[in-house]
């Protein structure tokens, strides 16, 4: 058993792009989401439960999973509002533009950084749930980010 320790600060990585190729962990075309405070990769299989008159217990049947990635980030001007000099739509419009424009984003969520053989989860979906907040006790903008995954996750290792 090998525990995945992310305390080095460069291990948990999320890269977004307008194509799977641009969201590559080892590439440079996508948006590497900076200043993540936390990230959760959720795979929640649905369950339909029903009762019958001839049984004293409920029956259960699985239904398709709801997949979602949630994170909290300290707002970075370029990552949030975009870099107009970049060709990738997600990088050019930022998290805000990709959410507002309902742009499909492809993602790679790295568990062990970007080194060869590091594990990651990939897929595509849509950004939602942006809610930037600031206050006197936390004087930097912080926002939750949700990626509503369209379809299933895939997992692999960095080549």
Taking the C-alpha atoms of residue 9 and residue 20, their distance in angstroms, rounded to an integer, is 24
pLDDT tens digits in sequence order for the chain, 159 residues long: 678 888 876 689 999 999 999 999 988 899 999 999 999 999 999 999 999 999 999 999 999 999 999 999 999 999 999 999 989 999 999 999 999 999 999 999 999 888 888 999 999 999 999 999 999 998 999 999 999 999 999 999 998
Taking the C-alpha atoms of residue 119 and residue 33, their distance in angstroms, rounded to an integer, is 18
Which two tokens mark 4? 């995945």
Taking the C-alpha atoms of residue 108 and residue 96, their distance in angstroms, rounded to an integer, is 19
pLDDT of residue 18: 97
For the whole prediction, is pTM greater than 0.75?
yes
Check if the beta carbon of residue 23 is closer than 8 Å to that of residue 88.
no
Check if the beta carbon of residue 67 is closer than 8 Å to that of residue 89.
no
Domain boundaries, the chain: 13-157
In the chain the beta strands, taken as DSSP E runs, fall at 13-17, 31-32, 36-50, 59-74, 104-110, 119-128, 133-135, 138-149, 154-157
pLDDT of residue 120: 95
pLDDT of residue 155: 95
* DSSP assigned state of 79: H
Check if the beta carbon of residue 80 is closer than 8 Å to that of residue 10.
no
Taking CA atoms, 127 is separated from 17, 44, 69, 147, in Å, by 12, 18, 9, 5
The CATH code that applies to domain 13-157 is 2.40.30
pLDDT of residue 1: 65
pLDDT of residue 116: 87
Question: Could you tell me which of 92, 98, 90 has the C-alpha nearest to residue 129?
Answer: 98
pLDDT of residue 3: 83
């Amino acid at each position: 058993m090998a525990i995945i320790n992310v305390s080095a600060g460069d291990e948990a990585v999320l890269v977004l792009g307008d194509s799977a190729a641009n969201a590559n962990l080892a590439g440079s075309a996508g948006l590497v989401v900076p200043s993540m405070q936390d990230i959760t990769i959720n795979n929640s299989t649905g369950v339909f439960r029903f009762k019958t008159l001839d049984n004293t217990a409920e029956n259960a049947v699985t239904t398709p999973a709801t997949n979602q990635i949630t994170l909290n980030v300290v707002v970075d001007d370029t990552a949030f509002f975009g870099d107009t000099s970049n060709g990738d739509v997600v990088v050019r419009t930022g998290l805000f533009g990709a959410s507002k424009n309902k742009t499909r984003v492809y993602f790679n969520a790295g568990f062990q950084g970007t080194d060869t053989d590091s594990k990651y989860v990939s897929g595509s979906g849509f950004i939602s749930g942006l809610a930037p907040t600031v206050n006197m006790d936390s004087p930097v903008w912080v926002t939750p980010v949700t990626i509503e995954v369209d379809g299933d996750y895939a997992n692999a290792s960095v080549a």
